[in-house]
Amino acid sequence: MAAILGGLTSSHIPAVGNAIAKELYEDLYWKPFFSGYPPIREWLGDHKPDVAINIYNDHGLGFFLDKMPTFAIGAAHEYKNEDEGWGIPQLPPFPGDPELSWHIIESMVEQEFDITSCQELAVDHGFVVPMQLFWPGAPNNPDMPRTVPISANTVQHPIPTLKRALDFGKALRRALLSYPDDVKIVVLGTGGLSHQLDGERAGFINKSFDEMCMDKIVTDPEALTKISRMELVEKAGAQGTEFLMWMMMRGALGDQVTPVHSHYHIPISNTGAGTMMLECAA
């Protein structure tokens, strides 16, 4: 039977991919950010998950504003990185797990979530950056897990509510635990935290709101569902809506989790960057 080991969170800022490519780990600007990841890498090295469910948002590569699915799930054998610039070297494809993907898709539809299934899906920094942060050198890492990308709409309003995001995660948990193969799974919730890249509030970061979200997502995620979509934009910025992908991850972990590691740093590329490792209850 499948087992969910835990959940990981990470920002997926495209500038991070550039910093990784240039190996700026000891750079004064980047070092405080990168210092948040070694404890999680150690945990992953000890547990060696077989599959990483990567919940991210596409930034105009696989989908655009004229066609933006609320929830899309990759069902391919591999996922090619075709990011949007920065001069980052081309990466080999990331390995998929189509059998698990189709099991998830079938289960989610059975649970009345409308899913866009993608038999081909190019992935951008939203997917790639967290993989490289948690598995350095990915996809050329000896412990590289198979991947299932799940893309959520955080840009074209109306976006999902935080309650819908948490409910998606709960349904995803049921899908994963019903998978008959003996696989170990981690679930990634990426993006955020507070940031706004344009308009009058460009550069907006809300540290107190970020810290509250990082606390409540462990102890009382249901309380966060009371935050409306407009309130989320107001308190976290236009791009802070990516927090809903953390909620999708959290729902997949069950009621009780143990926080193994937490790290927060601002500013990094005008973003409040949160990193967490949540372990599922035995």
Q: Which two tokens stand for residue 162?
A: 């935080």
- Active-site residue (options: 195, 261, 263, 265): 195
Q: Region of 48 please: left (phi>0), alpha (psi -120 to 50) or beta.
A: left
How far apart CA 138 and CA 140 sit, in angstroms, is: 5
CA end-to-end distance (rounded Å), the chain: 14
- Cβ atoms of residues 35 and 154 within 8 Å: no
Q: Which amino acid is at 198?
A: D
Q: Which two tokens stand for residue 94?
A: 């990331």
How far apart CA 121 and CA 80 sit, in angstroms, is: 7
- Told to judge if 59 belongs to the known catalytic residues of this protein, a careful annotator would answer no
- Active-site residue (options: 59, 125, 263, 265): 125
Helices 243-251, 207-219: axis angle to 10 degrees equals 10
Task: Tell me how far CA of residue 72 lies from CA of 34, 63, 121, 124, in angstroms.
Answer: 30, 10, 10, 14
- Told to judge if 12 belongs to the known catalytic residues of this protein, a careful annotator would answer no
CA nearest to 33, candidates 263, 270, 277, 276: 263
Residues with catalytic roles? 125, 195
